[in-house]
Structure formats: structure tokens, C-alpha cells
Structure 1
Amino acid sequence: MEVLSRGLKKLTASNACQPYRTRSRSLPPSHLLFADDTTIFTNDSRSSIRNLVAFLQKFKNISSLKINNSKSSFLASSKMLLLRTHNIERISSWKARFLNQAARTTLIKHVLSSIPVHILAAVDVPIKMLQTLESKLADFFWGWSEGSKKFHWVSWRRITYPTKEGGLGIKPLREISAALRLKRAWTIFFAHKNTLWAKFMRSKYMINDSRESASQRNIDSPAWKGIRKLLHLVEDNSHLLLGDDNSNVWNDNL
């Protein structure tokens, strides 16, 4: 995949494939690699799409690595969570018929609840969508009888209580989403991490990595607005711990 990565960088550097841009001082990502998945960022010009497709075809011919067209698609942000919802529905429809309730509980904890996590880690998902996802999980938990949903004897909120409080310990998606939002705010404003995502967000919405310069405009993305709203919550629940005698309060990165 090193050849693919270098080729995509070269394609973007030569402007044969125009990068995805937001503002002039933002870092334009060309692609991301995770396990056996590749996400490529580009604008919607015909020349960029044409050159990108030609490059992928050339890569396939040279490497003999075939691109699975059935698993490849063009995604806009508004379609991503809908895709995850369809995945949950597809898994639920056939798995529920062959599993008892204990097995379905295990599947929810370790598989179904994890499907939307990557989306929740990146964007602020509307509460209505989270409620829809949890409704799908509840339907799967209780199962079906003769093609219709079984009665839900206990509310989903009660089921997601910790086991010590009488629940089954399934983590509610709304709490997962809130925790991930706080983590994003901590990563950008306090952790001083130089991950690609953190550098991109700082360069787009901040000046010289200063929290005081954080953008508060109406045209900012929903993801940034959600992070910005949590700044005071992170500040109120954070405190500094001094190190050993070698600490220097003037020069150390607090």
C-alpha cells in the first residue's frame, strides 16, 4: 500500500487530482489508510475524478490488486450514517432468527453497538438519529415472532443501565456520542496532540493554536460548533498535576 499512498500524494501534488480544501490555511488531506480500507479525498471536478479513476486503474494493472467495486462507493457526509443504519438493519434481520436473547445481548455489546462508533467519533450525530439506532437495537434485542416485533417489556434506557443497577451493561449510544465529543474537544484544545485530524481542525478554526482564537462563526461546521460548545465543560472538569522537582512551570507544556 506504500505505492498506492505515494501515488495518491503525487497525484495531489501535481494538481492532477484537486485536493479537498476548506480554507487556504487548512491542510488538504489526500487520503487515509486504515487496515484494508482506503478513503480518498478529492473535490468534485470532472478532471479530478477522471484522473483519480485512471490512476486507480493503472495501480490495479501494475499490482494485480483488484478493486472490489461492490464494496467501493462515493460518499458524501449526509449518506454515511444512513449507510451504517442499513448495516445494522441487515445484520439484525437475519441474526435474530437464530439467536436466543443472551446471544443477541452479546452481539449488541460487541458488534452492533460498535458499527456507528467511527461516525460518532468524527461528527455530531443528531439525537433523532441516535434514537433511531437505539430503536433498531431494541427491536433486535427483543426479537420477532411471526414477522412482527415482540413486545418490549422493559425500556431500552433501563436495559442500558450498568449491571450493578439492574441493567445489562449495554452502553447507550447517546452517552458514547457525548464521551467522544468531549474527547475531541480535549484533543484539540488541551492534549496538544499533533494527529492529522487535530492539526487540520486547528489550522481551519484557530490561529496559532490559541483557544482564545477559536472560531465562533455561524458558517462553521456542525462538528466544530459541537466541539466549541464543550470547551467550558472540559475546562471545568480539568486540573493540572505538577510533576517532580525537575518541572519548569515557565517552559513545560501544561
Structure 2
Amino acid sequence: MVAERLGVAVVEEQKRYLGLPTVIGRSKKVITDIIRDKLSKRLQGWRGKILSRAGKEVLIKAVANSLPTYVMSVFKIPSNFCDELRSMVSRFWWGHGEGQRGISWVAWRKICTPKGVGGLGFRDFHLFNLALLAKQAWRLVTCTDGLWARIMKAKYYPQGEFMGAGIGHNPSYAWRGIVEARGVLEKGMRRRIGDGPSTLVWRMRGFRTRKRARLYLRVAAGMRT
């Protein structure tokens, strides 16, 4: 009845949307298997070709680093799986052909640094995952009138704001990742004090001690006057 009223089609559970299953349970193996299979097939196809270092660099940045972008913008990928993806790309970069392993002359973390400081600008999958999830968290902070933001607020922090929200009861996999990436925002965010009623100093991180809270209130009172 809902599909008929809205004029949309009913999608079966076994179908995918943007490369992911429409329904994901507690097991995250289905997500990691999809990314692993896609990346492995691409790398296996490239190994049979004679590629220069420049060619490998272009393929890694344009394809290998971009394959998990959508998944990483929605879910928090396990750190050990990020290491597995890094290992697959590293073997392709240092290898000399199909089945031939090369020597890793430079640590991969140095290769992931920008070119301006001596690296090649490859993506660190773990940090890239956190950055994409932090972008979703920033949308919850700035775009509070959006439908998605209102739904998340109603479910996880109906009486507060996102930066002070907890993990909640029986949270979704997507919400867990967004909350974990919230620390990225906390490192660079600053709160602008107006008249003060929406600033809860007893609950904000960094102002939980009485001494800090009193000092914060004095500063806020001085700004109002």
C-alpha cells in the first residue's frame, strides 16, 4: 500500500544499492567480502600488464583508493580489514609482475604522506574512513533541519545535541561509526558563546570539573556584559 501511494517499486532484500546489500545484519563480513573481491579482481587484472611506476600510481589513486569510498562514508570499517586492503595495494605497488613479490623499500605510512613532503599521496584507508564518517557527523551538526538529521536526533539524542549524544540502546552499525568519528570534529571545533542557555557546561567535554565550569561561566558572563 505504501509503495502504491508513493509510486515506487519494492526492492527485494537480495538486491543491492550502490554496490551494497539493501539489508545488512550484525555480521559485517558481507561488507568486507564485497570490497575485498572487487579490489582483488582489479589488482589481478593489472598484474598481468606491464606497468610503469607512474601507471601504477594512477591506477591506485584513481581506482584502488576509490573503490571503498561509498562504503567507508557509511560504515566504520574494522582496522584489521583496512590493514588488509593496504597490504593488497602495497603488494601490487612493489611487485614486479603476476606472482612476483617485491621488496618494500619504504614504509607505507611514508608513501601515504603528501607529495609536498616526500610521499606519493596514497590514502591511508583507516584515516580516510574516519574522515568520511566525520563529514557525516558534521552534517548532523550543521544541517539540523534535514530529514536524515531529524531522524537520527529523534532516535539517539532527542533531548540534546549531537556532540553530547551517547551510543544509545541497540545502535545501528552506521551510528556507531559516526559516533566513533566524532573525535575528529572535537579536535578542531570551537563553541561560540552567545547568551548561554544552550551551553551545558556540566555535560560538555573538557568542562566536567567544577573549577573549569565556574571559570567557563565567568568568561561567558563577561562576554554577555
> Could you tell me the TM-score, scaled by structure 1's length?
0.61
Q: Which amino acid aligns with 1:202?
A: K
Equivalent residues in 2 for 1:206-245, closer than 5 Å = 206-207=157-158, 210-211=161-162, 214-217=165-168, 219-231=170-182, 233-239=184-190
Q: Is the 8 A contact 2:76 2:177 kept in 1?
A: yes
Whole-Å Cα distance in 1 between the matches of residues 126 and 81 of structure 2? 10
Which residue of 139, 144, 148 maps to 1:187? 139
Tell me which residue corresponds to 1:109: 61
C-alpha change, 1:193 and 1:101, in structure 2 (3 Å) is: farther
Q: Across the two proteins, how many residue pairs are aligned to each other?
A: 189
Q: Answer yes or no: is 1:148 the counterpart of 2:100.
A: yes
Whole-Å Cα distance in 1 between the matches of residues 158 and 35 of structure 2? 35
Structure 1 unpaired stretches of 5+:
1-7, 15-29, 32-39, 54-68, 243-248
Q: Which amino acid aligns with 1:104?
A: K
Q: Which amino acid aligns with 2:64?
A: L
Whole-Å Cα distance in 2 between the matches of residues 72 and 133 of structure 1? 18
The alignment partner of 1:85 has SS state of helix
Q: Is the 8 A contact 2:143 2:149 kept in 1?
A: no
Q: Which amino acid aligns with 1:109?
A: K
Q: Which amino acid aligns with 1:121?
A: S
Give the deviation of 1:101 after TM superposition. Answer: 1.9
Whole-Å Cα distance in 1 between the matches of residues 48 and 164 of structure 2? 54
Whole-Å Cα distance in 1 between the matches of residues 98 and 21 of structure 2? 38
CA RMSD of aligned residues (A): 3.6
C-alpha change, 1:110 and 1:128, in structure 2 (3 Å) is: same
Whole-Å Cα distance in 2 between the matches of residues 160 and 148 of structure 1? 23
Tell me which residue corresponds to 2:120: 168
> Identity of paired residues, percent?
23
Q: Answer yes or no: is 1:92 the counterpart of 2:34.
A: no
Whole-Å Cα distance in 1 between the matches of residues 81 and 89 of structure 2? 13
Q: Which amino acid aligns with 1:90?
A: K
C-alpha distance after superposition, 1:43-98 (max 9, x if no partner): x7xxxx8xxx9xxxxxxxxxxxxxxx9x9995643212311111110010111221
Which residue of 122, 127, 138 maps to 2:74? 122
Tell me which residue corresponds to 2:130: 178
Tell me which residue corresponds to 2:207: none
> Could you tell me the TM-score, scaled by structure 2's length?
0.67
Give the deviation of 1:192 after TM superposition. Answer: 2.4
Q: Is the 8 A contact 1:84 1:116 kept in 2?
A: yes
Give the deviation of 1:117 after TM superposition. Answer: 0.6
Q: Which amino acid aligns with 1:85?
A: R
